[in-house]
């Protein structure tokens, strides 16, 4: 069995850690929930020396735009079995069109606003990593059901707006498949089979909970944060065929219907 070192033991990486332990792997991690402090250079380098596989879920630094893991430990990662949790935001706005791993990212095409995630994505690919591009993540405690219950659900009036999403446990199963098979380096989209509007998901969650959906709002009326507003300014459908072909991956929750039913 292998030894996985995780940089950033957060919500998604925590599910991956649990799944790998169930496969008999040893797991070490940085982060508040991990056993190594990121700033403990000696401890991290010792863990790197013991690890057979390395996964980073650490996003780029919002202020500098740099990748904290590559900036601090990049020299120790060359030639290693690397895995990185990225975002489908690297594709930018595609006006609702389908994207796959062959679609140029913002960093490759030089289009649109500067995207630190796209630049980090490209840097990890250049190191030979398996890069998992993730759309909107939902799961226990983080779903449309929770937003409806908490009174935080929104419906934004943007006809034709489409998003992809994925259950956190389907991310874990895809990453586990890549780890245990020593999958070929490259990018992998892990999203479900039904890109759709956020409104459709919110409305279905309301039906499941037996409540009225929130009113439709314009983007201006919603008064969203810059980050949330940026999310609504991008429109694309994410294809998952490569992960199915190469990893033998199949989402347990192929649409939000199955995913929300399980969470309920």
Q: Which pLDDT value is given to residue 58?
A: 97
pTM for the structure as a whole: 0.95
Q: Judge contact between 13 and 34, C-beta under 8 A.
A: no
Scored b (16 or more CB within 10 A) or e, 197-225 reads bbbbbbbbbbebeeeebbeeeeeeebebe
Paired sense of beta strands 81-87 and 53-56, if any: parallel
Residues facing 6 on adjacent strands: 29, 55
- Res. 113: pLDDT tops 60: no
How does pLDDT run across 198-211, given as a tens digit for each residue?
999 999 999 999 99
Nearest by Cα to 18 from 171, 145, 141, 144: 171
Q: Which residues contact 104 (CB under 8 A, 6 or more apart)?
A: none
Q: How far apart are CA 135 and CA 57, in angstroms?
A: 14
Q: How far apart are CA 233 and CA 75, in angstroms?
A: 36
**Mean pLDDT of the 33-53 span:** 95
DSSP helix/strand/coil, 75: helix
Give residue limits of the domains in the chain: 3-263
Residues facing 137 on adjacent strands: 166
- Res. 114: pLDDT tops 70: no
Q: How far apart are CA 19 and CA 232, in angstroms?
A: 32
Q: What is the CA radius of gyration of the chain?
A: 19
Tokens of residue 36, six digits: 């190594």
Q: What is the mean pLDDT of the chain?
A: 94
- The CATH code for residues 3-263 is 3.40.50.720
């Amino acid at each position: 069995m292998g030894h996985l070192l995780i940089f950033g033991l957060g919500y998604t990486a925590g599910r991956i850690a649990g799944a790998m332990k169930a496969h008999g792997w040893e797991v070490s991690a940085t982060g508040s929930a991990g056993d190594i402090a990121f700033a403990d250079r000696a401890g991290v380098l010792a863990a790197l020396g013991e690890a057979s596989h390395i996964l980073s879920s650490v996003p780029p630094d919002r202020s500098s735009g740099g990748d904290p893991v590559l900036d601090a430990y990049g020299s120790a990662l060359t030639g290693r079995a690397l895995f990185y949790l990225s975002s489908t935001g690297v594709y930018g706005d595609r006006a609702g069109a389908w994207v796959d791993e062959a679609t140029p990212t913002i960093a490759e095409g030089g289009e649109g606003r500067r995207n630190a995630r796209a630049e980090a994505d490209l840097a990890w690919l250049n190191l030979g990593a398996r890069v998992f591009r993730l759309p909107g993540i939902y799961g226990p405690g983080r779903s449309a059901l929770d937003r409806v219950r908490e009174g935080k659900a929104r419906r934004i009036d943007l006809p034709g707006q489409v998003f992809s999403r994925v259950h956190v446990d389907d991310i874990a199963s895809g990453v586990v498949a890549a780890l245990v098979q020593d999958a070929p380096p490259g990018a992998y989209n892990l999203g479900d089979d039904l890109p759709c509007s956020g409104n459709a998901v919110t409305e279905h969650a309301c039906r499941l909970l037996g409540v009225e959906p929130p009113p439709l709002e314009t983007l201006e009326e919603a008064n969203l944060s810059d980050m949330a507003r940026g999310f609504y300014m991008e429109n694309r459908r994410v294809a998952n065929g490569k992960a199915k072909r190469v990893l033998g991956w199949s989402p347990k929750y192929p649409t939000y219907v199955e995913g929300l039913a399980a969470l309920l």
